[in-house]
Structure 1
Amino acid sequence: MAAFVLPHLFFLFVLPYFSVAQTNGTVTVGASLTTEDATPWLSASGDFAFGFHQLDNKDLFLVSIWYDQVPDKTVVWYANGDNPAPRGSKIELTADRGLIFSSPQGEQTSISDPIIGVVAYGVMNDTGNFVLVNKNSELLWQSFNQFTDTLLPTQIMENGKFLSSRQSESNFSRGRFQLSRLNGDLGLRTVNIPGNFRNNPYYFLSTGNSSGSGSGSSSDTLVFNKSGDLSILRDNGQELVLSRGDDAQAYDFYHRVTLNFDGVLTHYSHPKAKTGSSSWIVLWTVPVDICLSTVEDAGSGVCGYNRICRINIDRRPECECPRPFSLLDPADDYRGCVPDFVQDCVNEPSSASNLYDFYRVTYIAWPTGDYDQLEPYDEESCQEACLTDCMCAVAILKGNICRKKKLPLSNGRLVNHYGTAFIKFRKTNSSQNPALPVPGRNNQDGLVILMSAFLGTSVFVNFILISVMCIGFLLIYRYKLTTIGKAESVVERNLRCYTFKELLDATEGFKEELGRGSFGIVYKGVVQMGGSNIHVAVKKLDRILQDGDKEFKTEVNIIGQTHHKNLVQLNGYCYDGPHRLLVYEFLSNGSLAGFLFGDLKLSWNQRTQIAVGIARGLVYLHDECSTQIIHCDIKPQNILLDDYFNARISDFGLAKLLRIDQSETHTAIRGTKGYVAPEWFRNMPITVKADVFSFECCFWRSFVVGKMWIWRLVEREQF
């Protein structure tokens, strides 16, 4: 009996100590974690966790500290970003070396170097700081002294320290951007990796603007206090506040300042309560437009070589390869873009014009790298000068000045009223070397040889040849007729037919919502096209006629036949059981409404360009495509903008599929209240002028331009 009772009494006696050890954040010497452990080392409040954070590659882990109460488990510190830990790795707290990382092969490295003294225990604090102390509670090491990409409240950054961005949202390797304290200057810089050379700052925090120079001293300190205020504490006692939290609500919110992988420094907050917003809220960000702030004499700029930087509505840069360039490494955006062709050296204008042509693009600028300047020049002479120059990749004409640029191009960005860029590309049907014989002469020589052979053969052989040729022509003719018949089916067209499972996987379970409209919800997805991953917009049609199978196929067939630069292109569809979905090209600039009613405003030149683009798209739908299409719902939310702010009309051709009782006005009207034409209210026949009326209302309210000018522009097709 005693043998049974005594162990249980002992267990009851020590149980409170185990409970304290699990809730006060203390980690004893000898404690360890493995990649298979579900429970990390938690702080007393449970807000922060230390352990192995699983990456997208399920077999790799990050030794890190993260917000454990936030749904996405936001990582705020990490130790092995360049070399993620494989499955089977281990962390152990030792007395002599502190935190020791062991690989599955038994190789050991110290995470907490240097340690001077003997570690008594570790503590995961509620500030997010993991510390190691001796038996006298004296600090031996702390994670706050090993900076990664994030500052937490109560953390300070002294001279010589820096934050380093990660390589991408999910890749924690060292990135290209730094927030550094050098010689008293606190600035954002790019770094030429894999080396450590820092380029000149593209933004100074010590002056509060992007064009000045640093004015701090080496004793200035960057302080992120417990109230969520980010400020510079000068050696003379003055405090320069960069971003404020809310002192009254400081304990109701988590705060962090992160140097994002794209070079933007951002102050975030997140409510601690389980209800309310489930995402981080942006309180402050610098620079406001990193695309225009960063100009480097050396280095590739924000986006990498031969890329274009543009700012989105969230003030974050988005990078694209201009035509005719493609990503050098799809797994690493910042390695830049390379041309899709090999440029030969052709000095003769006639030969060069047979081989090369230009993409004419406005608003694109590469402010550095001019190697030649010509004036006074017009468009034709500027293009010709680049065409016959073996080094010229791009010519930019601004006014009467023609500037030639060679590869690689750096610091590319969108700039209003910058000029016109002529990007040289090789014609796809001109792959032959101009030094080779003329193709026409080859054809003539071949014809002579064929006729000679034909006339030199016997009559019987000629009869056999003629018979075979006639049968061949007959088979080809019948095949063409069959192909034309099949082409009337949606499935046989260029549109891809997806299963619902494919689109469910492509959108990660319809995770990221892009917008909502009369026909359903639009989600962002990624599909494979031509061997590469392509972003798409997937529209779930949840308000269409359920029994209109034939009508759905007909309308999708019509939409798939439309091709115009001012229409959103349909790439595929889903017709799987009760599921009806459409797959469109993805336009990352979003809708026109986001610019009209948001913080970022369009210039008048851009507004005019967009108005004319929509007018062109409507004329095509009304008069130029094979089947006339009346949109019925022209509004800013249905006008999308491409990378160069060209207008693209979406949701055309779907009005016939919308259930009348599900239209936004809850009447027989198809369209959005405030934009519909009077005909809808009077039971009059609906014509293309219903779209013209909606277009007029849309731009009268949003663009504040003359009604009659817009009406005449569309009615007379003057563009």
Structure 2
Amino acid sequence: MASISVIGVCLLCLCSLSEGAQQPHNSSQIAPGSFLFPLTHPSSWPSPSGKFAFGFYQQGSGFAVGIWLVVGTDQKTIVWTANRDDPPVASNSVLQLTRHGELVLINEQGQKKFIISNSNNAFVSFASMLDSGNFVLYNEKFQGIWESFNLPTDTILSDDGNLLLYPANTESGTTDAYWGFGASNLGIKYHLYLDATGLLVITNTTTGKDLKNDEHVINYEFEGHGYKNGTIYRATVDVDGNFRLYSHDSDDENGKLKPSVLKWSALIDPCDIYGFCGLNSYCTLYDDQPNCLCLPGSKYVDMDRTMLGCLRNYSEVECQGGKENTTRYQMSNMSNMMWGGIPYSEAETLMEECSKSCLEDCNCGAALFQGDRYCTKQALPLIYVRRYEEETNIAFFKVGMSTGTESNNQTDQIPIPVNPLMGVDNTSKKVIVQVLVITLGFIIFICVAIAISGFYIFKIRVLSYKRLTEVNGNLGLADEELALRVFSYNELKRATNGFKQELGKGSFGAVYKGALNKGKKLIAVKRLEKLVEEGEKEFRAEMQAIGRTHHKNLVRLLGYSAQDSKRLLVYEYMSNGSLADLLFKAEWHPAWDERVRIAVDVARGLLYLHEECKSPIIHCDIKPQNILMDEFWNAKISDFGLAKLLMPDQTRTFTGIRGTRGYLAPEWHKNTPISVKADVYSFGVVLLELVCCRRNLDVSVRAEEIMLSTWVYKCFVSRELHKLIVGGEEVNKKSLENMVKVALWCIQDEPALRPSMKSVVLMLQGITDISIPPCPTTMSM
């Protein structure tokens, strides 16, 4: 109940016992008008025994509202959280119980948000935190009109209940279930009940009788149960997706609850949990610990978080004549494999024909050969993949020729301890001494080599700096042409209070908040921290790119400092952060009209760079993180450290790859000349993120929605653009369609098909008509 699980798990057949809202003890009554605060007293309302409490608890850097078991003197075991999908609230928030039976959260801006809403709209006489762990609202007749047991999340206490484990965000919970009680024909008059002895029992809601035979007791293998005064049982869907039963015994010495003890779990093998490993990966045990490994032809989405799944490590080749180009692919096989999902093709055939059929099929990503002649084919991504030793299936995976068969059996990737003296006769002291002497000599040699290398690197850097200062002189730019203020290093150090408040960090250094004119003018100071040559290139690129430019949709460069080897750039301060913060991190998203206006602002800024400057400028790194919002919520393009300047009569240039993955135009990878159309592609990706208020790549959503561009095009073709809008927001359908069409034109693979930024501005403003865009060829990747 406490927090969102890494693997979302749901419990079906929800209901609660009628005795859950029993009459409270008078001393625990909470009157309407009462308040709770995160840091000051009172921060919670306890139950009569003090074993449960309702109120604010610490969650990350903020606070959440919930119910917890008081374990020991200062430990909390969270058993219920209100609106647990919402982000944490600030420390100066206030929680109020109103007379209308609503718990209202008031944030630091004075805005109200309902934590608990009384759907009956009945008068509330008081509330109470009960010793059962149930928080209840009562009317003047002492009747419960709302209770937390009716809204369980991931924990069942000894008076509330429900059933069935399956991953969240699946279209059909029953077909994706990986554990269940197996009593599917009981009907809606039965529900799950955790009794006072720790047994999970199916109960008849009509007669109130517990069906405590082996057929209707779930955890019958849990032995030694029995009622014990002061013991509290709780059943929890843990963060790994397993359903477990815990007990908290009472400490006879001080009356406090002891830490929890595991009594029973639904699944013994964690790899049996669907969704434990992400798409295109499978679960296997190593030293009794679950590991997620990539299937052949794929690589981890994030090497540091292997549970997120895997993506292809090769590029798809376009089908020719309805058949796959078999010269660019080959099949890799693994034994004892199974996976979930419904195959799109099933046939009886030979094993060799099963593999060949998948290789030639453009839609096939993997095939499973079962028995001696049964073949099923599946499109990627694969879900719920597991390796079972008792299975005799053969799985075939289509991989690019460049990947070979290096991942045929990824259990080989698990590190195996190696004896450094393997092969040496350990009984021979002479051999051991020789090994130690050689090892010591090698270590000394390495240390000497590092010392010499460090000395020469230092000398080279010093000489490089001297050469740069001699050659550059005045940075190659006349101050009178730039009209920029020259600051001293100490002046900017004082302005930023010793570079204390960091606003953000980029590839070449960090940006700090500062103030000039005795705090009257706020500034942002970018301090370059890379090697001399790289830092100098970044410094000069940014100076040349925006030193002479001035546009309301470009962040303005105010000055610089070039003292000794220190390089700093001074910008106007953007008080409302980046577009990335608004779209991906904020509690609320900008309204539709605001998002359209932001898109036009960014388009106008790019139009100025591409067509209205003396020399055209390719920004090369357009993304939400580089679009900042000023105090009036105007969008401005920033971070020109990777920008490329063209000659006045030049339209294209050769340069190495610059920018951020996910926003790069295809031509960056083809070693072809780069034009301003590379920025148009990046803008198209940003435009899609503006429409949907999510990142271009998101592995936390359904498989068909992971790649934003692919999902948007499918919705566009099927005339279901309303699915793209978060939370069912009311938007202008014509405006939405125009935004999507402009974005799809911008992300075309061929630069010639992409519109100019002037055309983009006119299309976004509704001045010119927009034709139907074709499908970008990268959509199938």
Instruction: State the TM bucket, normalised to the shorter chain.
Output: 0.3 to 0.5
Give the TM-score normalised by the residue count of structure 1: 0.44
Q: Higher strand fraction: Structure 1 or Structure 2?
A: 1
Larger relative contact order, structure 1 or 2 (CA cutoff 8 Å, min sep 6):
2
Give the TM-score normalised by the residue count of structure 2: 0.41
